[in-house]
């Protein structure tokens, strides 16, 4: 009996020490990002939003302005445009409009920047939110980066949006009108609102990759970048889906599903999401 009690006591002590170590590591990581953010502010650069520390891996961001939101997600919108053919300006405008520039109640509790509802095929986490009806089901993400990728997949894999991809990525007006036609939103003024956002903030400059990359580089002193990529694997030469899935403890089928892959072919430089829980 004494031996069993001693064994239980030692197990509790070991677990407490392990938990304390994990919390300390997390606090150090957040503290380092905060110092980098404060340093960049002191140097007069334009840092993007600082992540809020949350539990269970749930990370949200606080934005002080629409411009800050745009600087934060412009690199992601450009990456999604190059991967899926959705104009970066449209992605950013939808993010601004649907999330209230990252300040809406929905985005704060779910990281859902595009107002995407659960629908019948969604098997991930969710939250309820009053929209057209009370208590509707909306998708929830651990990280806003996952919301941006799921937005691309939602459009690219949705048959009713297929005709949009016949438009040029520089024709944001056609895309704005097409989204309303396809039923993305019920608001009859939705296209006009998207176009207004694009013109107000000059978002169409991100539809031209060379120019966009130059602008993004000017704002590259950005401590948020490590957080935005914490669930992303950049495909390197020699990588295979099997190897990547094994590295992150995923099945190949899961990896293909969350990245909208039709087969096992991947290109060097492609960014793969490695976790949507």
End-to-end CA distance of the chain: 42
Check residue 263 and give its pLDDT. 85
Contact 259, 273 (CB under 8 A): yes
Q: What span, in angstroms and rounded, lies between the C-alpha atoms of 155 and 145?
A: 16
13: tokens are 């002590």
CATH of segment(s) 231-277: 3.10.350.10
* Best CATH choice for the domain 60-223 from the list 1.10.530.10, 3.30.70.270, 1.10.10.10, 1.20.1440.120: 1.10.530.10
pLDDT digits (tens, 9 = 90+) for 182-238: 999 989 999 999 999 999 999 999 999 999 999 988 876 554 454 455 567 778 888
Q: What span, in angstroms and rounded, lies between the C-alpha atoms of 127 and 106?
A: 8
Distance of CA 41 to the CA centre of its chain: 24
- Strand partners for 128: 137
pLDDT digits (tens, 9 = 90+) for 12-49: 445 444 444 443 433 333 343 334 334 433 333 333 44
Q: To which H or E segment does residue 127 belong?
A: strand 126-129
- Closest by alpha carbon to 258, among 53, 98, 268, 248? 248
Check residue 37 and give its pLDDT. 35
pLDDT digits (tens, 9 = 90+) for 138-166: 999 888 888 999 999 999 999 999 999 99
Least confident of 54-58, 124-128, 167-171: 54-58
60: tokens are 């949200």
Q: How open is the CA angle 152-87-267, to the nearest 5 degrees?
A: 60
Check residue 56 and give its pLDDT. 57
* Bridge pairing between strands 271-273 and 232-234: antiparallel
- Strand partners for 271: 234
pLDDT digits (tens, 9 = 90+) for 89-135: 999 999 999 999 999 999 999 999 999 999 887 888 889 988 778 88
Check residue 46 and give its pLDDT. 39
Distance (Å) of CA 239 to CA 245, 257, 260, 268: 10, 18, 18, 8
CB atoms within 10 A of CB 14: 10
- Give yes or no for residue 270 having a pLDDT over 80: no
Check residue 220 and give its pLDDT. 65
At which residue do the structure tokens 């600087």 appear? 71
- Give yes or no for residue 87 having a pLDDT over 80: yes
């Amino acid at each position: 009996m004494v031996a069993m009690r001693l064994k239980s006591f030692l197990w509790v002590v070991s677990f407490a020490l392990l938990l304390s170590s994990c919390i300390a590591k997390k606090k150090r990581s957040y503290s380092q990002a905060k110092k980098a953010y404060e340093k960049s502010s002191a140097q007069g650069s334009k840092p993007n939003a600082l992540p809020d520390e949350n539990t269970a891996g749930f990370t949200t961001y606080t934005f002080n302005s629409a411009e800050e939101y745009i600087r934060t997600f412009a690199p992601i919108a450009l990456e999604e445009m190059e991967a899926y053919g959705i104009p970066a300006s449209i992605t950013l405008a939808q993010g601004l409009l649907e999330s209230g520039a990252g300040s809406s109640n929905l985005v704060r509790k779910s990281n859902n920047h595009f107002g995407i509802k659960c629908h019948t095929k969604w098997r991930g986490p969710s939250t309820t939110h009053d929209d057209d009806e009370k208590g509707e089901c909306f998708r929830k993400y651990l990280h806003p980066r996952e919301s941006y990728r799921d937005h691309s997949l939602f459009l690219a894999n949705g048959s009713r949006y297929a005709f949009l991809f016949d438009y040029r990525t520089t024709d944001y007006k056609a895309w704005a009108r097409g989204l309303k036609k396809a039923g993305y939103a019920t608001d009859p003024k939705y296209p006009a609102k998207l176009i207004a956002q694009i013109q107000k903030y000059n978002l169409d400059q991100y539809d031209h990759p060379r120019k966009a990359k130059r602008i993004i580089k000017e704002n590259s002193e950005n401590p948020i970048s490590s957080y935005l990529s914490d669930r992303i694997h950049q495909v390197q030469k020699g990588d295979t889906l099997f190897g990547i899935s094994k590295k992150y403890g995923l099945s190949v089928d899961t990896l293909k599903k969350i990245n909208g892959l039709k087969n096992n072919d991947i290109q060097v430089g492609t960014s793969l999401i490695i976790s949507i829980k």
